[in-house]
Amino acid sequence: MDLIVLWIVVFLALSFDFINGFHDTANAIATSVSTRALKPRVAIILAAVMNFVGAITFTGVAKTIGSGVADPSKLDHGVEIVIAALLAAIAWNLITWWFGIPSSSSHALIGSLAGAVIAGAGLDEINSSGIMKIIQALILSPLIAFSAGFIIMWILKLVFAKSSPHQVNKGFRFGQIITAAFQSFSHGTNDAQKAMGIIVFALVAAGMQDTMDVPLWVKISAATAMALGTSVGGWKIIKTMGTKIFKIEPINGFAADIGSAAVILTATMIHLPVSTTHVITSSILGVGSAKRFSAVKWGVAGRILIAWVITIPITVLMAMFFFWLIHLFFL
């Protein structure tokens, strides 16, 4: 029975990873598709391949997810806690995908895991220092990405101020192919590891391994699920990020991709999970502000910001509700 429950966890974690893939496809390719640097089908294939490559390259973020919120070896109902967390995170991802809101899968997973731990083991089992470190990264990374996007765009404006706009955009349209690949790679290095971390959390909680090391089968499974999800695509969110924040030209897309990918990859290198959605959207906002502050549709940005703020508290409550349901019917 325990093995069956564990396989349910693996299925749900890979489902979360798959949904994260199509939910966050927009993160990597929205700018290159909106500027027609890449055709949608080509962009999705590129994003899927590079997401897979990025996902199997690092494991530090997985270890942070697996131990940062709580110590799975100390939880009595650790596997059930993970199931409740994944159900809540998946539900929130599907709701925000349906309405085309680029909310954070990272916020959803962290909030859900925290809520499930509180419901299943109590507030004392929350690793306060670990979760504060994660939340600080989630808050600071969009601010850094906004600044990076603004600075890169400001520099590019100075460098190409006297150049022909047509020639500049023609060159940067080609450059966007490279930055889209870089963006997709960085996305895979951070986001796919979250599913890896939650599976390892469950394995430790079930007593099937003692360390937070990520087994090879977990790495390959999560990377494949992310790549398959990416290949499906999230067109509603692509439309929001690629067209509704401001009118993106190739030079803007190039700047946004470079700024956000650099922030995501840096976070991965120091083993911190960040919201790729938040980082990329913030970079686009920074680029738009450098281009012309009034060009940014701040009403749309405000709607996105609201989704960012409410994700963690809502998923905390959703995960608590799911754990209580599991406790009521199965424990």
Cα–Cα distance, 100 to 244 (Å, whole number): 11
Number of H helices, E strands in the chain: 12, 0
Whether the pLDDT of residue 103 is over 80: the answer is no
The residue range of the domain holding 286 is 2-330
Of the candidate ranges 58-62, 111-115, 163-167, 230-234, the one whose mean pLDDT is the lowest: 230-234
Contact 9, 202 (CB under 8 A): yes
- Please give the pLDDT value at position 199: 94
Cα–Cα distance, 39 to 31 (Å, whole number): 11
Q: Where is pLDDT greater, at 330 or 108?
A: 108
Whether the pLDDT of residue 242 is over 70: the answer is no
In tens, the pLDDT along 38-86 reads 887 788 888 889 989 998 998 889 988 888 899 998 888 889 999 999 9
Cα–Cα distance, 127 to 123 (Å, whole number): 9
Of the candidate ranges 27-31, 237-241, 290-294, the one whose mean pLDDT is the lowest: 237-241
Number of CB atoms found within 10 A of residue 127's CB: 17
Question: In which band, very low, low, confident or very high, does the pLDDT at 330 lie, cut at 50, 70 and 90?
Answer: confident
Q: Which residues of 298-319 are buried (b: 16+ CB within 10 A; e: fewer)?
A: eebbeebbebbeebbebbbebb
- Please give the pLDDT value at position 149: 95
In tens, the pLDDT along 246-266 reads 567 889 889 999 999 999 999
Contacts of 258 (CB under 8 A, 6+ apart): 148, 152, 179, 182
- Residue whose pair of structure tokens reads 């405000």 in the numeric block: 302
Structure tokens at 182: 């870089």
Number of domains in the chain: 1
Whether the pLDDT of residue 230 is over 90: the answer is no
Mean of pLDDT values over 300-319: 84
Q: Give the end-to-end CA distance of the chain in Å, rounded to a whole number.
A: 13
